[in-house]
Chain A
């Protein structure tokens, strides 16, 4: 998803690029707990008759469920915030918090987008400033990558003719 917004305090335009999460962490915890509870009831019930070897497998499986759900949730939380300040283009990215921050000179910032014709490729969108470059919107499909490209073009004041000249 690409959402463009203006910071009401600073007036800086921010483009937020994020994946889609359809369930909260709390709901994921409840899901893991429900799966674990069922396995524990079955394993525990059978163990009461002396056949305890089901329990370790149920435990291992529960750990795998928790690990997988947390990895899946974390992965889906990846967000990029592209702040277009007066002098800099700042790209912050990370999962829960901004783990990575890149500052590029807005004056020198140029966009490179290899919009591929192939059905199998979505292309890459790169902001380049001098010898520094950064790929943005890697989790987007082609349609949204084009949208992000257009928004950045507008904000950075590059029309399509400029881009044609550059390419």
Chain B
């Protein structure tokens, strides 16, 4: 024990934000870091979107028009890596940073400095990844799955890609541990687990998934690295290794990753629908259990991504039925969202439009997923545009729409200003029309047999590809409306009230708008 004559606790968190750019570099405030993640995600959305437009421009007509095939393959690979690791995941982490402490009545994240590191690793990871495009031999072109032995036969970009993936993984793991530590340790008194908002629950389960599977990805890509540069033969058949095992290990990470990309979206939609239906969420407990069930099942369905590599019949049957089982908890969720809206006093502000768009189009993606779960059918659909249509219906109206819905929903709380409702609605409708023009025809060309990851194709697919490209450019440019609405809202506008939305419920709506720099330094009472 020491005795001090004079002492001033030096805690920067007492005061408001620092001035200048160093505020953003050194910040440990969860709201600042949330904003950084969201802005990073927005920038990456346009970079990844630009890559998608290059792909679609090339596919506007059959034949090779704009880019050479290697660059085309680089674009498909990078587009996926950027959209998954640079857009959807950081956006969800940004939303978690902003909202979880406020939703559970905590003052900040449990480990604020770790939070700062988690974010600042990301830009370096993506600089490393994108720098490969300017290297001799170009960027990675073997697909985001980095299948061996194809990925081992490319240029020296592999090492950069692997290090970039390691950085992304470190960032994700640190962010996830922080979220788990925050949710368990910093809930306000009375905020029991079964009182937590669904967004918090879904993020808790997502963080568990991330902590469970990131070492698997890290190990898999490191084994690729050692195969390429250190003479090992983990995945080289010539050296006694097993290339198919890479697929097993990758998808053991990859399928939970799919749910990492969608579970937080379920939480967002479960927050928005009750607000605009002015009814409590139907079947809260069943939503929690359904989320946990989906997470558990996500670990035992990985091989449905690779039915065509061959496996015993019993294996095929197991993975087919296990995959189909996921539709049960997912169906529970869809049912509960609809039941929440049933006889609700509904209004259709922009967040609600995006939530309903999510509900309808995510279900379309889910149904095509069920088709792909059927082993004999999947062998036909495998590596066709039908698969591309399926996962884009799940990820764009699923993950991306939920992020946009969340942004419109919580932006008044973040900025203190209401966004422009008219332009928000225009954004929704233009995006939705073009999104369907873009992705729906992919079902047709896929069922007709058009393979994915090709820069050229047979004449019979020309019409629908032209339509899809028109949709892509329409969807891409309609996102500029989103940027306009966000910037306008940040700059000013009608002042938001504390509650913001008439039917809003939760601790985040009890703090003023904009949310003070420090909230709930003392836990609020929970009824």
Contact = CB atoms under 8 A, between A and B. Distances in A.
Interface of A: 1-2, 20-23, 27-28, 31, 35, 38-39, 42-43, 46, 49-51, 53-58, 60-61, 64-65, 68-69, 71-73, 75-76, 98-103, 118-124, 126, 131-135, 138-141, 143-144
Contact of B216 (A2, A42, A122): A42
A151 B215 CA distance: 51
A98 B2 CA distance: 9
Q: What bracket does the count of chain B residues touching chain A fall in?
A: 35 or more
A144 to B, nearest CB: 4
Contacts, number: 174
20 contacts: A31-B184, A35-B211, A39-B215, A51-B249, A53-B222, A61-B173, A68-B174, A69-B185, A100-B2, A100-B4, A102-B7, A118-B16, A119-B512, A120-B15, A120-B518, A133-B6, A133-B7, A134-B8, A138-B9, A139-B107
B15 A51 contact: no
Question: What's the dominant secondary structure at chain A's contact region?
Answer: mixed
Given A28-B185, A141-B107, A143-B522, 6 more contacts: A68-B111, A76-B185, A76-B186, A100-B4, A103-B3, A138-B14
B517 A144 contact: no
Given A76-B110, A76-B185, A100-B7, A121 B14 contact: yes
7 smallest beta-carbon distances between A and B, as pairs: A54-B219, A120-B16, A141-B521, A57-B215, A72-B110, A22-B187, A144-B522
B181 A69 contact: yes
B7 A22 contact: no
A95 B417 CA distance: 40
Contacts of B187: 20, 22
Contacts of A102: 3-5, 7
Query: Could you say which of A22, A23, A119 has the most chain B C-beta atoms within 10 Å of its C-beta?
Result: A22
A143 B208 CA distance: 35
B188 A31 contact: no
A99 B215 contact: no
A107 to B, nearest CB: 17
Interface string B123-141: 0000000000000000000
Contact of B189 (A22, A38, A75): A22
A14 B146 CA distance: 63
Interface in B94-131: 106-107, 110-111, 114
B146 to A, nearest CB: 15
Contacts of A23: 184-185
